[in-house]
Each structure stands twice: as C-alpha cells, then as structure tokens.
Amino acid sequence: MKMTKSPTTGIAGCSALVTGGGSGIGLGTATLLAADGAHVMICGRTEDKLISGVDQIKATAADGVEVAYVVADVTVEEQITAAAVAAAAPTGQLDICFANAGGAMTIPASIIDSDLDSVRATFDVNMVGTFLTIKAAAALMVTTGGGSIIGMSSGAGHFPHRHLWAYGASKAGVEMMVKYAAEELADRGVRVNAVQPGIIDDELMEFITAGGKLLDDYMDQTPISRLGQVGDVASAVRFLAGPESSWITGECLAVDGGHQLRRGANYELLFQ
C-alpha cells in the first residue's frame, strides 16, 4: 500500500481526486499534489473553472503526471462515484482523496432568523457531499490496499463564530464523520483526517478579506495575525495525504494561525 511506505517515497505515481478543484484551496492543493508527482483528477460543477484549473495545474506538474477534470456534483451519488472511478484510471487505484467541496448557502444570521431551505442546502453540500465522497473513495481504496482521505472542515466547525451557526454545525458534522470513518476503515488500510482552515485569502473569502470590521475581528483573534494563504492549507493536506503521516488518522488539523486559541469571529460585524 503506497500510503504506508517509507516517508522518503512521497506521493509520486499516486492517483488523487480533489473535489471543488476548480478554484481556491482545492485548486491550490491539486496543483501541489501534481507538482509532487501525483496524477490528479479535479471535479466540480462549473466546467469553465475546471478547464482553467487543469491548465494551471499542468503548468507546474511533474513530468509524466496526468491531469484531468470531470464535472460532478458531490451531492449526487452517481456523479461523485463516477468521478472517483475516473480518478483511479491512471494507475488502477485511488490513493488520495481531498473531499474539499462545500460552502455556506446561508447568509450569516441567528438561528431564529435563518431560512430553512438555505440551511438544508448548507448541510447537504457539506455533510452529505462529504459523506458521499468518502463513501466513493473508500469503496475503491479498500479493494487495492488503502489510501488517504482528507475532509474539509473549518474553525467554525470546532468553536462558535457568532451568526455562522449553520455552516459551523455542518462542518462539526464533517469532523465527527471523519472520526467515525477513520475508526471504521483503519483496519482496511484507509486513513481519514480533516483540515480546519481559518480565514484564507482566496476568492471565496474576498467579501471579508477586502477589509472591514469583520476582518479586523479575525485579525484581533488570530495570534499569528495575518491572512492564511491557499498554500498554507494545501501543504497541510499534502502532509496528510502522503506517507509522512502514515500513523495519523482521525485528526482534525487546525491551519488558522492559532485562531482556535481565542474566540470565533463575530459575523454580525459583516453588516456594520
């Protein structure tokens, strides 16, 4: 099994699936995996982003690496299953899966002011989408000796961010799902972990990182007081994906400049 070899072997020759791979953290991680020698399949719902993403990944990919995309919605089981099978095609097995796709479909609001449909949509993409991705990836991995799955959580899934409850609760569900999957799949060679990013300077967070009271609050509550970069998270995922972390499973790794040492951000400030 590739994931349990000596740490010196790296991930060259492995096959990886990255959901939500057309932009942001997903694209940054896929680019790093390919640069380190892994064949990479990115998936998402917007084909134009995926086409552009493949071009970006190829620009720095190691020699001989295959990079491709498939349009898939992680909340549709048939689509994410097909994406996992396609990702395994270059080598006949799937070694790495980054279940990155997710988001907040709700406007930050208190529980009593939240819209039901938006809450359901948030739980659907974060929890159900992650479940289906883990299911599809693990089903392949257990037949070929194992692999590494990394889920996408958030600091908001670990400690409260005022008025970000639906997103945070759904990410807390992802973290517990990761722990259950890690315990169930360990004896079949599959490791399952997650990352918990803080505030990241990418296009998804631009409405915060452009400046204002909410950004100031984030910086006040972050001991290493700078914005996180996509590369900060990508490097953490790369570590959890490879044999360097072969005795780590069921962990949720904070990549947040120490934000969890203080309090969560106050999303009421977004509207002030």
Active site residue ranges: 167
Measured between alpha carbons, how far is 166 from 264 in angstroms, rounded to an integer? Answer: 14
Measured between alpha carbons, how far is 127 from 175 in angstroms, rounded to an integer? Answer: 9
| Helices assigned H by DSSP within 186-255 | 206-209, 213-220, 230-241
**CB-based burial label for 68 (10 Å; 0-12, 13-18, 19+):** middle
Characterize 216-244 residue by residue with b for buried, 16 or more Cβ atoms within 10 angstroms of its Cβ, and e for exposed.
ebbeebbeeeebbebebbbebbbebbbbb
Measured between alpha carbons, how far is 96 from 238 in angstroms, rounded to an integer? Answer: 10
CA-wise closest residue to 198 among 219, 175, 173: 219
Match 């095609």 to its residue by tokens.
89
